[in-house]
Amino acid sequence: MRLDPRENPSWFTQGDRIPQPRRPQPAAEPAPSRIAHWAAARCDEIVGGIRGGLWRFTEGVAGVLHPGLGPAVTAAQRVTKWGPALVGLNDERGAAVKIGLIGSENLGLWMVLRTSLGRTDPGPRPSWCADLPVESKQGDEGVREDATVISGVEEVKADDVAPLLAVPPPPGAGTRLLARVDVRRRAGIVAVDGGDGHWQRRIFFTIVHPATRGDGHHETFRVVCPTCDRRRLAQFRGFDVCSDCGWVQTA
């Protein structure tokens, strides 16, 4: 059964534009000055330009990833007049890997993001980081209840994706975003076409909707992150996120 994608037409009505298999191109290496600028940048400076697009994708797939959530998302779309929250968890630390969240406290729906510049991600990465392929038509059937992978493409402004790329695209370039999620894992990737037709995987994400939120946090609390062995865990209603690597624990 195909779900109604009318709330998110920019992502899910362009199946013929899902990337075709092609010869992969080596990613450009960022200049040292760009690496320094990235490290000093806040999460909103890096992904703020595509926050709305990523949230529309999240809303579009939420009912498949978390069955039963679809009606609440649709109702929220009708009454909400402001955009999603964007939280940078390791801003002002000079981090090579940025960890952030885009979402809604009212819905309890969040996209947890992990991104780095070029090939500078040193790891370790949490297990939800899914190395999904970018050069394929996987998931191009759109939003379906029986889907195993869902993909969507959206045209974006070059300035909005420039902070994600090692070499910024020229003004007016035909830049696009590809979002692809593994339904079973509720995790996926965002890739950027800088206008040259080649997709670069730039973001790992997982979409979180804790089963139990209540008024506080879940009872199980870890002092040390089991992925990176650090102690900076950010607490949200129903889940924790490591602000250094992006590891997630739900109730």
Residue 94 exposed, middle or buried by CB count within 10 Å (0-12, 13-18, 19+): exposed
Q: How far apart are CA 123 and CA 96, in angstroms?
A: 10
State yes or no: pLDDT of 14 exceeds 90.
Answer: no
The mean pLDDT value for 147-157 works out to 94
Q: What angle do CA 84, 90, 92 make, to 5 degrees?
A: 110
Contacts by 35-40, CB closer than 8 A, 24 or more apart: 35/96, 35/117, 35/118, 35/120, 38/96, 38/117, 38/163, 39/94, 39/95, 39/96, 40/94
User: What's residue 135's pLDDT?
Assistant: 78
Residue 1 binned pLDDT confidence (cut-offs 50, 70, 90): very low
* Full-model pTM: 0.86
More confident residue, 142 or 67: 67
pLDDT in tens, 102-141: 999 889 999 999 999 876 677 899 999 988 988 777 777 7
User: What's residue 10's pLDDT?
Assistant: 66
pLDDT in tens, 207-232: 999 976 555 554 455 678 999 999 89
Amino acid symbol at 124 = P
User: What's residue 2's pLDDT?
Assistant: 39
